[in-house]
Amino acid sequence: MTQNAADAVSRTPLTPLTPLTPLTPLTLLGLGAMGTALAGAWLAAGHPLTVWNRTAARAEPLAARGAAVAATAGEAVAANRLVVVCLLDDASVEEALAGVDLTGKDVVNLVTSTPGTARARAALVTGRGARYLDGGIMAVPPMIGVPQAGPYVFYSGSPELFEEHRATLAAPADARYVGADAGHAALHDVALLSAMYGMFAGVAHAFALVRGESVDPRALAPLLSSWLTAMTGSVAATAGQLAAGDYTEGVVSSLAMQVAGVPTFLRTAEEQGVSSELLTPYFELMRRRLDADPARHGVEDLTGVVDLLRG
Ligand code: NDP
What pLDDT does 20 receive? 65
- Indicate the top mutation candidate among 27, 34, 36, 97 to test ligand 1's pocket, ranked by most ligand atoms within 8 A of CB: 34
Conformational region of residue 26, where left means phi above 0, alpha means psi within -120 to 50, and beta covers everything else: beta
pTM: 0.90
Residue pair 234/250 in contact (Cβ under 8 Å)? The answer is: no
- Return residue ranges of the chain for CATH 1.10.1040.10: 189-309
**137 CB less than 6 Å from ligand 1?**
yes
What pLDDT does 2 receive? 44
What pLDDT does 22 receive? 85
Question: What end-to-end distance do the CA atoms of the chain give, in Å?
Answer: 84
Which segments of the chain have a pLDDT < 50?
A: 1-19
CATH superfamily placement of domain 26-181: NAD(P)-binding Rossmann-like Domain (3.40.50.720)
Collapsing DSSP to helix, strand or coil, 136 comes out as strand
Rounded to whole angstroms, the Cα distance separating 238 from 279 reads 20
- Please list the residues that pair with 108 across neighbouring strands: 84, 133
What pLDDT does 311 receive? 76
What pLDDT does 21 receive? 74
Closest atom of ligand 1 to CA, residue 35:
25
Strands of the sheet containing 106-109, edge to edge, are 68-69, 49-52, 26-29, 82-85, 106-109, 131-138, 152-157, 174-177
- Return residue ranges of the chain for CATH 3.40.50.720: 26-181
> For residue 202, what are the contacts with CB-CB under 8 A and spacing of at least 6?
228, 278, 279
The architecture in CATH of the region 189-309 reads Orthogonal Bundle (1.10)
